[in-house]
């Protein structure tokens, strides 16, 4: 993030309402650093796309101010903001060839023909579509259209590029490939990227930081690993990755560890993330890969679980168990040769460390 080519963005107390009754974005404060790749992640209707549209200038902020490189831009029309944008369905102009599409932002800037041709070629080479300049968008595959859209958003050297679910229309394999390509382009050019998606894998693989949106509020703003391993609340824990929930109440709270009495009476140790008082209702969150079946060592928590179902997935076995009254309790068992055989109907010991069990607010 030492790169200085990218722009910085600040959302300062931004609110947005469409109907004057409900706030779609509630008091958004967000600093995006120079050259950062920031992803806005959230379910549909969480306000992430609205934030992007306010930044692009297509929606006015109802309250608050947005700064680009330190300058307020609320009153700057979209075409003067100099922000590149990749749209969900690419929005390639169907009546122009690929090269004409790329020439469009250069032409409106009054760039000379020689320079603009050089830039178009460079941009097309960057996305490996050098030979496709004369084609119409309709003659390209979805993945190629996607690349053209990226090239078009970058061809006029913007300091900030916005991407609104750009990979949503691609199939899984292509999507993964494009994730890496976009990431590489970002690394090479050093532009600031604000990326909107509802796909958590996309967010985790590409971003420097992820802002998880729900209900118009940023629930957590962290690098991907922190987001996954230390969720701030049960929404984030549930939204990012797979997650087991055990509902209960706090019976004792200390420094870095608390004791929770689950609803079926089981007592477990957990990391108190956002429980503060004895008696608080809580949802203990556990990642499936952090649980061991019949552990050799002695973890902080060891409870009985009945195996309900086993699904063979090659590299691991997905075991659905009934643990402490929750029969959707998922454990991922690594597929090891020396592992003791287990089968559905068995009652086995499952264990996990207190640090891996996050005592969060009560799940809705």
The smaller minimum CB distance to another protein, of residues 76 and 294, is found at 76
Q: Which is nearer to another protein, 149 or 360 (CB)?
A: 149
Nearest distance from C-beta of residue 159 to another protein, angstroms: 13
240 makes contact with another protein (CB under 8 A): no
Binding of another protein by 67 (CB under 8 A): no
CB of 214 to another protein, least distance (A): 25
Answer yes or no whether residue 104 interacts with another protein by CB under 8 A: yes
Q: Counting contacts by CB under 8 A, is residue 142 touching another protein? A: no
Please, which residue, 91 or 355, has the CB nearer to another protein? 91
Regarding 80 and contact with another protein (CB under 8 A), the answer is: yes
| Binding positions for another protein, 37-56, rule CB under 8 A | 56
Contact range with another protein by CB under 8 A, out of 3-11, 88-96, 264-272, 280-288 = 88-96
Q: Which of 32-40, 124-132, 148-156, 328-336 is the region at the interface with another protein (rule: CB under 8 A)?
A: 148-156
Q: Which residue in 3, 15, 89, 238 binds another protein (CB under 8 A)? A: 89
What's the min distance (Å) between Cβ of 82 and another protein?
A: 7
Shortest separation between residue 80's beta carbon and another protein, angstroms: 8
Closer Cβ to another protein, 109 or 349, answer by number: 109
Does 85 sit near another protein (CB under 8 A)? yes
Q: Would you count residue 70 as binding another protein (CB under 8 A)?
A: no
- Quick count: other Cβ atoms within 10 Å of Cβ 348? 15
How far, in Å, CA of 44 to CA of 42, rounded? 6
Q: Does 77 bind another protein (CB under 8 A)?
A: yes
Residues that bind another protein (CB under 8 A): 56-58, 77-85, 87-89, 91, 93-95, 104-105, 108-109, 152-153, 156, 162
């Amino acid at each position: 993030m030492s790169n200085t080519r990218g722009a910085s963005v600040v959302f300062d107390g931004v609110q947005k309402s469409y109907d004057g009754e409900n706030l779609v974005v509630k008091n958004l404060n967000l600093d995006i650093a120079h050259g950062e790749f920031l992803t806005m992640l959230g379910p549909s209707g969480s306000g992430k796309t609205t934030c992007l549209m306010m930044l692009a200038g297509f929606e006015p902020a109802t309250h608050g101010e947005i700064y680009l490189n330190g300058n307020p831009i609320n009153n700057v029309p979209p075409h003067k903001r100099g922000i590149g944008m990749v749209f969900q369905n690419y929005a390639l102009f169907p009546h122009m060839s690929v090269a004409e599409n790329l020439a469009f932002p250069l032409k409106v800037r009054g760039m000379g023909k020689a320079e603009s041709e050089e830039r178009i070629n460079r941009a097309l080479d960057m996305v490996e579509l050098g030979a496709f300049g004369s084609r119409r968008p309709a003659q390209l595959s979805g993945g190629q259209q996607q690349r053209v859209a990226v090239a078009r958003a970058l061809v006029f050297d913007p300091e900030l590029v916005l991407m609104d679910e750009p990979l949503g229309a691609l199939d899984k394999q292509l999507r993964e490939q494009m994730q890496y390509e976009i990431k590489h382009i970002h690394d090479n050019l050093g532009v600031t990227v604000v990326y909107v998606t509802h796909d958590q894998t996309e967010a985790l693989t590409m971003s420097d930081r992820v802002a998880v949106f729900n209900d118009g509020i940023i629930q957590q703003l962290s690098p991907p690993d922190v987001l996954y391993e230390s969720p701030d609340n049960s929404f984030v824990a549930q939204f990012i990755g797979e997650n087991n929930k055990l509902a209960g109440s706090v019976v004792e709270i200390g420094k870095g560890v608390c004791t929770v009495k689950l609803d079926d009476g089981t007592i477990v140790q957990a990391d108190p993330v956002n429980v503060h008082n004895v008696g608080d209702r809580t949802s203990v969150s556990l990642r499936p890969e952090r649980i061991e079946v019949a552990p050799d060592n002695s973890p902080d928590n060891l409870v009985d679980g009945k195996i309900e179902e086993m699904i063979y997935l090659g590299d691991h076995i997905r075991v659905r168990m009934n643990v402490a009254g929750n029969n959707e309790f998922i454990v991922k068992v690594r597929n090891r040769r020396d592992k003791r055989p287990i089968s559905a109907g068995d009652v086995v010991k499952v264990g996990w460390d207190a640090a891996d069990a996050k005592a969060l607010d009560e799940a809705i």
